[in-house]
Amino acid sequence: GAVVSQHPSRVICKSGTSVKIECRSLDFQATTMFWYRQFPKQSLMLMATSNEGSKATYEQGVEKDKFLINHASLTLSTLTVTSAHPEDSSFYICSARQPTQVRTYEQYFGPGTRLTVT
Amino acid sequence: QKEVEQDPGPLSVPEGAIVSLNCTYSNSAFQYFMWYRQYSRKGPELLMYTYSSGNKEDGRFTAQVDKSSKYISLFIRDSQPSDSATYLCAMSDNFNKFYFGSGTKLNVKP
């Protein structure tokens, strides 16, 4: 149980275009989803926290107009990288938490999406 | 200064060795500590969780937290080639935000 999927797993796009990444909780409902970014040999950096039905909370330094997050349902959150540039190339990972989770430290991670902007 | 520091390795050990992985942190408010394992091209999976200082054991894995030194460790006994992965430490003060180390790449040689 507690499986999170991401789509696509890998995407290459041209500079200036937009890319949408989907994060789905397959066998549970997730009121909270987290979006992280991971550069090679660096930490997972939290970009934003997404709660179903409300606006995402962005971390300091993350442009909300560039990284659009929509948590439309209890099983789906999307991250859209708008007007992508080569410096946006990174590994993007989402995670999800169950609403009635007793162990609130537990978040289930998706497999990640490798974005390359050319 | 980074919130969490972790040696990136790589760490290469023979099968059966005891592995010690470590992280240091700067925020004394952290009280929840986690270790994740991440295989190549996969998302992290939770291995161990510890609250505050102390030890916790689960099979071949032991997590230790020393809050006075702001230092946490993960020990793997009788390491196996299947343990080869990147190990990430993570910590939080309130579960609203998690701070991750950069990960240590471990290679267990048969």
Which among A43, A59, A106 has CB closest to B102? A43
CA A88 – CA B60 distance, rounded (Å): 39
| Closest approach of B107 to chain A, Cα-based (Å) | 16
Backbone angles phi, psi at A83, to 5 degrees: 45, 60
Chain A contacts to B (CB-CB under 8 A): 4, 6, 9, 34, 36, 41-46, 49, 59, 93, 95, 103-107, 109-112
Per residue, the 3-state secondary structure of chain A, as one string, reads CCCEEEECCEEEECCCCCEEEEEEECCCCCCEEEEEEECCCCCEEEEEEEECCCCCEECCCCCCCCEEEEEEECCEEEEEECCCCHHHCEEEEEEEECCCCCCCCCCEECCCEEEEEC
Q: Is B44–A43 a contact, with Cβ atoms under 8 angstroms apart?
A: no
Which residues of chain B have a Cβ shorter than 8 Å from any chain A Cβ? 2, 4, 6, 8, 32, 34, 36, 41-46, 49, 88, 90, 92, 95-103
Per-residue pLDDT at B97: 86
Q: Tell me, what's the pLDDT at A72? A: 82
Nearest to A25 by CA among A78, A102, A90: A78
Separation of alpha carbons B85 and B108, rounded Å: 9
Flag if B34 and A105 touch (Cβ within 8 Å). yes
B43 vs A95: CB contact, 8 Å cut-off?
yes
Selecting from B42, B97, B102 the residue whose C-beta is nearest the C-beta of A46 gives B97
Contact yes or no for B32 and A41 at CB 8 A? no
Residues of chain B in contact with residue A7, where contact means CB-CB under 8 angstroms, are: none
pLDDT of the residue at A82: 96
pLDDT mean values, one per 10 residues, chain B (110 residues): 86 97 95 92 89 92 95 97 96 88 95
CB within 8 A of A32, min separation 6: which ones? Answer: A49, A50, A51, A52, A96, A97, A99
Q: Residue A50 and residue A10: Cα distance in Å, rounded?
A: 22
CA dist., res. A5 & res. A8, Å (int): 9
CB–CB of A112 and B100 under 8 A? no
Q: Phi/psi at A4 (nearest 5 deg)?
A: -120, 130
* Tens of pLDDT, residue by residue, chain A (118 residues): 688 999 999 999 999 999 999 999 998 888 889 999 998 878 899 999 998 888 899 999 999 999 999 988 889 999 999 999 999 999 999 999 876 656 667 889 999 999 999 9
Distance from CA of B86 to the nearest CA of A (A): 10
Q: Provide the token pair at A31.
A: 């009121």
List Cα–Cα distances, B31 to A10, A55, B38, B90, B98, in angstroms: 35, 28, 23, 11, 11
CA of A48 vs chain B CAs: smallest distance (Å): 9
Residues 6+ apart with CB under 8 A from B11: B19, B21, B104, B105, B106, B107
pLDDT at B2: 77
